[in-house]
Amino acid sequence: MKKYSIKIYPEALSDIKSISVWYEEQKIGLGQRFQSVVKDQIDDLRYTPQKYAIRYREIRCMLIHKFPYMVHYYINTQTSVIEILAVISTSRNPKIWEEKERKI
């Protein structure tokens, strides 16, 4: 089984941090739980990155378990790297991705 490396873009890391802070303000420990779930799911991508559907061009989206967010990522098959591009709320307008994509 092929194992991919993970690269998290600064924009995606910022998304995770700000979402975690918001959850922590809602309930102590919930922000940490969000981070833990995201980390575990991203780690799982190393082995099965094709598991999730392509949504925009070559960008795939993985729904975070028990949280209304999606991880947007790209599989660089030439370098065997999964590039984590953004973490976006499922309730936000899909056009948000287009705005974030321009910054990357």
Domains detected in the chain: 5-103 (3.30.2310.20)
For the stretch 32-67, pLDDT in tens is: 999 999 999 999 999 999 999 998 889 999 999 999
What's the rounded Cα separation, in Å, for the pair 59 and 33? 26
Average pLDDT over residues 60-85: 95
Question: What token pair was written down for 5?
Answer: 């490396």
Please name every residue paired with 96 in a beta bridge, in sequence order, or none if there are none. none
pLDDT of residue 94: 54
Name 80's Cβ contacts closer than 8 Å, sequence gap at least 6.
2, 3, 4, 5
pTM, rounded to two decimals = 0.85
Average pLDDT over residues 21-30: 96
pLDDT of residue 56: 83
Residue 11: strand, helix, or coil: helix
